[in-house]
Amino acid sequence: METLHLGGARLRVAAVALLLCGAAPATLVADPSSRVERTVHLMGTTLRLMVEADNRTTALIATERMVSNLEASERRLSTWIDKSELSRINNAESEDWVPLSASTIEDLLAAERCRELSNGGFDPGIGRLVEAWDLRGGGRHPDPSEIQRALRSSVAPAVEIHDESARRRHHNLRIDEGGFGKGAAIDRALAATTPLPGIRSLRIDLGGQVTHWKLPATDAVADPRDRSRSAVIVDSPHPSLATSANSEHRKLVSGTSIGHLLDPRRGYPAEDFGSVTVWTTSALDADCLSTGLYALGPDVALRRAEELDGVEIMILSPQPTGDLLVRYSSGLEGRVRTLDSDSLAATSPQQK
């Protein structure tokens, strides 16, 4: 879908109307900027792009460049693709060095850094746990011994890197891009597009993970009980945000619901308490920190976020009363507006 706003055409009509009425036309300056919106299915979800540029051609070139870069990242990182770089690492013998692109090496190093930032709540080497719980299929309850084997394989760091190659540090380890792949792809697309002359602003929304550039933005945070309903509006403190919640992608196994967010420290699904939204400057960091801080639980997540520079967090927790408890880090003070004062209980940073 493309939307083009041509302010100049409307202004010319207004000038003609003034002449017909006998009035002297004022000096009118048309805004030649163009706005293009595009929707694509990519990386297993919906991609929505918005670009404002000096002209329509530049805006279209920008959207095409973003889509091309996002597709390239998917080919590199998706473990659903047999020939991707991460799949080649996973399928190689653990002692074999696998040549990688500089982009993939940088993404893996960033993911490992995120493991440290989240105190182990995020783990790029969680693939065996994902398999044990069959989160890419119909779901299952693994035997405790399976969980222990998966935990033993998830060593830190997950890979050893030398020059332009990498290898897994445990023969049974599997890398899973689920907690960092979308963010890495957004960062690459943004870096490739913003240098284009004539780009005024843009917005990337990849399955609800959002990054905006040169765009004064407010972000709507969904109610974890009903993702189609916005619960809170936030004046964005940073250009990238990501939300993690167990309300979507749940598996029903033998009458028991299994959340898709795992705690890599214990090997079991993380506590289902609501949602975590993270704002930061990097889309990859927002992606993996929303996952990792969720695994820590709400109280620990809030404390950890306050310790991290350039990171803000909001936690929405449904209450037995039917209210929605809103808690957030100190950097969001004065930026938060609830949409339903009768059903939402807002908590200031000082009351966390």
3-state secondary structure 282-348: CHHHHHHHHHHHHHHCHHHHHHHHHHCCCCEEEEEEECCCCCEEEEECHHHCCCEEECCCCCEEECC
Percent of the chain exceeding pLDDT 70 equals: 86
Which superfamily does 199-351 belong to?
ApbE-like domains (3.10.520.10)
Q: What is the distance between the alpha carbons of residues 263 and 23, in angstroms, rounded to a whole number?
A: 71
Buried b (16+ CB within 10 A) or exposed e, 74-91: bebbbbeeeebbbbbbbe
Please give the backbone phi and psi of residue 233, each rounded to the nearest 5 degrees, phi first.
Answer: -110, 135
Q: Which of 13-27, 94-108, 165-179 has the lowest mean pLDDT?
A: 13-27
Helix (H) or strand (E) holding 186: helix 181-193
Digit-coded pLDDT (tens) for 165-207: 999 999 999 999 999 999 999 999 999 999 999 999 999 999 9
Is residue 341 classed exposed, middle or buried when 0-12, 13-18 and 19+ CB atoms within 10 A define those classes?
exposed
pLDDT digits 0-9 by tens, 34-87: 999 999 999 999 999 999 999 999 999 999 999 999 999 999 999 999 999 999
Whose tokens are 């040549």? That residue is 99
Q: Which residues of 51-63 are buried (b: 16+ CB within 10 A; e: fewer)?
A: bbbeebebbbbbb
pLDDT at 18 exceeding the cut of 70: no
Of 133, 177, 172, 132, whose CA–CA distance to 154 is shortest? Answer: 172
Tell me the pTM. 0.87
pLDDT of residue 307: 97
pLDDT in tens, 239-268: 999 999 987 666 677 777 788 899 999 999
Residues of the chain with CATH 3.10.520.10: 199-351
Alpha carbons 34 and 121: distance in angstroms, whole number: 43
* Main-chain phi, psi angles of 47, to 5 degrees: -105, 125
- As a whole-number percent, the residues of the chain with pLDDT over 90 amount to 76
Average of per-residue pLDDT values in the chain: 87
Mean pLDDT score, 272-295: 97
- From residue 194, give the alpha-carbon distance in Å to each of 49, 52, 206: 13, 11, 17
Q: How far apart are CA 263 and CA 251, in angstroms?
A: 16
Q: pLDDT value at position 293?
A: 98
